[in-house]
Structure 1
Amino acid sequence: MLAKTGLLVVSNHKQIGEILSSVQKQVKNTLYIQFLSALGEPLGSFYPKTFNAWPKFSQTIFNVYSQAATHCHNLDVKVLLSGIKYNIPKIQTQKPIDLIIFDKYHSQEDIDNFIKARIQNITEEYNVLTIDTGDLEITEENIDNDESVYKHTVLGGTFDRLHVAHKLLLSEAALRSNEIVTVGVTEENMLHTKILWELIEEIDVRVKSVVDFLKDICPELKYNIIPISDPFGPAIMDPSMELIVVSKETVKGGEKINEIRQQKNLNPLKIAPVELVDEPNPNPIEEAKISSSTTRGIASGKSGVAKWLAELGVLIINCDIVAHDLYKPGMPCHKLIVEHFGDDVLAANGEIDRKVLGGIVFGNSQLQKLNSLVWPAIAEEVNNIIRNTDKKVVVIEAAVLLTADWQKYCHEVWTTLVPREEAINRLILRNALTEEQAKNRLDSQSPNTYYVKHANVVFCPLWPPEYTKQQVDRAWELLQKRLL
């Protein structure tokens, strides 16, 4: 059985890739990494033997997270800095440790003494594992980094679903500070230019993730985590700040901040650019670097996702088709619609002209009336189909699933979405609508953020079909595990 949380005690940092490759098979959720040359040595003794200043540890941190991106993509890896920077009495972690891993063999007495004296938060039924990587030859690293340490460092970003790039930036800020770290976290008003910004976590969630990470890796520092509503935040006004940490791709942003500070007669900030980790398995449509930056509504690609699911053996109930059948003469909805909207909605053959009906209801209060007439009949028919199928998995494909409260018939909600501009373009091309008509159609339903908030799984068919299929195959694989 996998441990939930592991603590890896590393003496040979040059073999970290080999170690992490093995650890991935032992730990499920969180892996803390503590660098320590020998169990009998005090915490804080590692870097003087290998480096002559804290910031020179930056390259080792980069190497660790780079290897973690390759070998531990499902683990929340955290390199602990307290036991490197300070001679602290115990290793402190927010989550209790239930597996301690060593990269070389130690006597049982040394292990027992280390665990008792040095680990603050450990479960009663912990386990110990040794992954031997050979003897360590301690040599000072010849790395040409700025060795300066600063009282107050600052950085900013979106910090959505904290990943390796964020950890590198935050770790660099914590490593170079001896007192205060300020982090600006972008608020929603700054996110709307991003593709699929609706998938970005709420500001409170992102702030908490940053706080939790920093307090785990180095709780001795003071942290100011500030939501910001402009690109510069407090960095252009706080005279106590001395260093700004940026990615190498955003150095110009740091330079712009210094221009503004000089205009305000503030000292310019030292700029510390951080190299981002290469994406280990990029798709052709993905960036090469790990950046620090069913059923949704109409024109969002839900039919494409449904098609892939059907090929996997799923029963797809398309509510548009169900409704179309119920609109036919002699069926329940036909009479109700004609009684309310009149004969003008009838085609020459006596059937409901859905295009005429759509032109009447979209963009005004009549849509609500139409829904109240047809939704109960659609729900009844859908449930009849479900009761009479032998399929293990059934998908209700409906743009109005949540609006109609049909999620109560489902175990999970899967949603698809594309940016609003893309949905408008698709409606114009597919349905031969004007731009105004397309916007009215979209305005008649809830925004993307609503669907994301209520979804268990989210797809984005914005890219070529083969990538949508990859999303569906992955979601299907995970669903099979949940069905066990």
Structure 2
Amino acid sequence: MLAKTGLLIVSNPKHISKLLTDAQKAVKNTLYIQLLSALSEPLGSFHSNIFNTPPKFSRTIYCIYSQVSKQCNNLDVRVLLSGIRSNVPQINTKKPIDIVIFDKKYTQAEIENFIKTKISNVSYKHDTLTLECNGIDSLDFDGGDKESNVYDHVVLGGTFDRLHVAHKLLLSDAILRSGEKVTVGVTEENMIHSKMLWELVENVDTRINNVLNFMSDICPELKYDVCKIADPFGPAIVDPTMDMIIVSEETIRGGEKINDIRREKKIKELKIVPISFIDEPNPQEKEEKKVSSSNARLRLLGTVLNPIKDKKLPKRPYVIGLTGGIASGKSGVAGHLENLDVPVINCDKIGHRLYEKGQLCYKKVIETFGDSVVDVNGEINRRVLGSIVFQNKDEMQKLNKIMWPAIADEVNKVIQHCEKPVICVEAAILSLAGWDVFCHEIWTTIVPPQEAIRRLQTRNKLTEEQAKNRIDSQPSNREYVKQANVVFSPQWEVDYTKSQVHKAWKLLQERLDS
């Protein structure tokens, strides 16, 4: 059985690629890495630090996290920095260590003494493992960083969505270069709307907690201030105690702009230290060539984003609720499901049928909205009706009171008579109308609002204002995502949407089989 949390003791970081490959076979969740050279008396022998200041380890840490992205990106890997920054007597980790992994052979007595004296948080029933690295190729770790000064107060900022190895590198570099305090600005929601799939970005409090948890875990000795920022600069343009700013290669100009503002305010300039990107080892379609949160969000499409609750529904047929805003690509996803032999109940079509001449809701609609909604053939003119309800919420509520219960009855009948193992209920207002009670799980589609407006203008021959009114009359993308278990974004080519649906279908089959 895999251990939840492991501690990898590394005597030679040049072997890190092989070590990570083997270590992930023994660890399930979190892998801490302790550089042996950062400890004063490891295993009864003395290994002095190879560099004389913490920033000199910057290149080593970069190479380790680069290999993490290639070898075991499924693990939460954390390189411990306390021993590098100061002479600490023990390895302190927030999570208890279930397995201690060594990269060279030691005697049993040495191992037992090391665990007893050097690890403060080890599980009562822990295992040990020794990995053999003899005869393997070593990675080329260049010398330490040229900028070797330590600064009292270091600052950096970013979105920090779904903390990944590139984030960990930036935060680690800030810790290595700080003598007393690190301030991290985390962007609030108003600053993320330009990002790809911003609706999938974690809420700001979660991101702040993740940053603080990581930094205080790998180096609890420093002071940390992790704060929300509502503009690109945050406290960096007003705090005179700050000495240095850590930036990525693409945000150097942002650091220079901060210094421009500090000069105008007669505050000392910050030393700007840019950190190199970590290459994405296997970029997929639409993904960036560097490790990024955008890539992580793209990979969430078609997966279970929010837990599926047991609603105590009959097991067959298994009902997928497919929802999303108007013109967000629901019909395309529905079409892919139909190609997988899944019947699709289109609630819009049911609604349109129910107020056809002679149908259940025909008279009620005319009685409520008047003869102006009836065309020359005696049928209800959906275009005229839409122009009334999409511009007035009270009128929309009147229509909903007529249509929603009738549609719910029809949907329930179709589900009860379905002989297929899986069926889909498609509706933009699935949750709003309460039809999600029929569904085991909810799938939703999102596209940027401007794309939805463009599609509506083209498809329905609407003006931009008319299209915008229809978009604004529905829940936002963010609200759809909060209610969904699985999310798709059909804003790209049909085949890319198809790949998202097929991923979701495969994972659904695995859930049903289990």
Q: For residues 133-191 of structure 1, give each alpha carbon's deviation from its aligned partner in whole angstroms, at most 9, with x where no partner exists.
A: 12899999534521111111000111111122211111110111121001111122222
Query: Which deviates more, 107-116 or 215-224?
Result: 107-116
**Secondary structure of 2:323's aligned partner:** coil
CA contact (8 A) 2:37 2:47 kept: no
Structure 2 equivalent of residue 301 of structure 1: 329
1:149 partner letter: V
Shift of 1:435: 0.7
* In 1: Cα distance, 2:261 partner to 2:180 partner: 25
Structure 2 equivalent of residue 33 of structure 1: 33
CA contact (8 A) 1:386 1:394 kept: yes
Q: For residues 41-64 of structure 1, give each alpha carbon's deviation from its aligned partner in whole angstroms, at most 9, with x where no partner exists.
A: 349x99844323211211121112
Shift of 1:478: 2.9
Structure 1 equivalent of residue 449 of structure 2: 420
Structure 2 equivalent of residue 73 of structure 1: 73
* In 2: Cα distance, 1:368 partner to 1:307 partner: 30
Specify whether residues 206 and 366 from structure 1 end up closer, same or farther in structure 2 by C-alpha distance, changes over 3 A only: same
* In 1: Cα distance, 2:254 partner to 2:34 partner: 33
CA contact (8 A) 2:166 2:292 kept: yes
User: Does residue 237 in structure 1 map to residue 258 in structure 2?
Assistant: no
2:344 to 297, 303, 316: 316
Query: Which deviates more, 370-379 or 354-363?
Result: 354-363
Q: TM-score, normalized by length of structure 1?
A: 0.93
Q: For residues 311-354 of structure 1, give each alpha carbon's deviation from its aligned partner in whole angstroms, at most 9, with x where no partner exists.
A: 33333222112223323334322232233223433344444332
User: Does residue 332 in structure 1 map to residue 360 in structure 2?
Assistant: yes
Q: TM-score, normalized by length of structure 2?
A: 0.87
Shift of 1:224: 0.7
* In 2: Cα distance, 1:382 partner to 1:140 partner: 63
* In 1: Cα distance, 2:421 partner to 2:3 partner: 32
* In 2: Cα distance, 1:42 partner to 1:352 partner: 83
CA contact (8 A) 1:51 1:141 kept: no
User: Does residue 357 in structure 1 map to residue 410 in structure 2?
Assistant: no
* In 2: Cα distance, 1:325 partner to 1:240 partner: 69
Structure 2 equivalent of residue 155 of structure 1: 156
Shift of 1:406: 2.1
User: Does residue 17 in structure 1 map to residue 45 in structure 2?
Assistant: no
Query: Which deviates more, 470-479 or 450-459?
Result: 470-479
Specify whether residues 130 and 468 from structure 1 end up closer, same or farther in structure 2 by C-alpha distance, changes over 3 A only: farther
2:437 to 404, 408, 418: 408
Specify whether residues 47 and 172 from structure 1 end up closer, same or farther in structure 2 by C-alpha distance, changes over 3 A only: farther
1:169-248 → structure 2 map (5 Å cutoff): 169-248=170-249
Structure 2 equivalent of residue 396 of structure 1: 425
In angstroms, what is the RMSD of aligned CA positions? 2.5
Structure 2 equivalent of residue 451 of structure 1: 480
Structure 2 equivalent of residue 126 of structure 1: 126
**Secondary structure of 1:28's aligned partner:** strand
1:386 to 399, 411, 415: 415
2:17 partner letter: G
1:53-92 → structure 2 map (5 Å cutoff): 53-92=53-92
* In 2: Cα distance, 1:317 partner to 1:138 partner: 57
Shift of 1:433: 0.6
1:177 partner letter: S
User: Does residue 273 in structure 1 map to residue 274 in structure 2?
Assistant: yes
Shift of 1:40: 9.0
Structure 2 equivalent of residue 286 of structure 1: 287
* In 2: Cα distance, 1:207 partner to 1:307 partner: 40
Say how many residue pairs are matched.
483
Structure 1 equivalent of residue 166 of structure 2: 165
Query: Which deviates more, 121-130 or 175-184?
Result: 121-130
CA contact (8 A) 1:49 1:138 kept: no
* In 2: Cα distance, 1:125 partner to 1:397 partner: 51
CA contact (8 A) 1:42 1:87 kept: no
Query: Which deviates more, 430-439 or 302-311?
Result: 302-311
CA contact (8 A) 1:79 1:217 kept: yes
Query: Which deviates more, 113-122 or 13-22?
Result: 113-122
Shift of 1:246: 0.2
Percent identical pairs in the alignment equals 59
CA contact (8 A) 1:66 1:277 kept: yes
Shift of 1:206: 1.1
Query: Which deviates more, 269-278 or 314-323?
Result: 314-323
**Secondary structure of 1:303's aligned partner:** helix
* In 2: Cα distance, 1:331 partner to 1:131 partner: 74
Structure 2 equivalent of residue 107 of structure 1: 107
User: Does residue 2 in structure 1 map to residue 31 in structure 2?
Assistant: no
CA contact (8 A) 1:93 1:121 kept: yes
* In 1: Cα distance, 2:25 partner to 2:499 partner: 24
**Secondary structure of 1:99's aligned partner:** strand
* In 2: Cα distance, 1:40 partner to 1:47 partner: 7
Shift of 1:124: 3.0
Shift of 1:458: 1.7
Query: Which deviates more, 369-378 or 64-73?
Result: 64-73
Residue ranges of structure 1 left out of the alignment (5+ in a row): none
CA contact (8 A) 1:104 1:135 kept: no
2:396 to 367, 377, 382: 367
Structure 1 equivalent of residue 302 of structure 2: none
1:282 partner letter: P
* In 1: Cα distance, 2:25 partner to 2:338 partner: 34
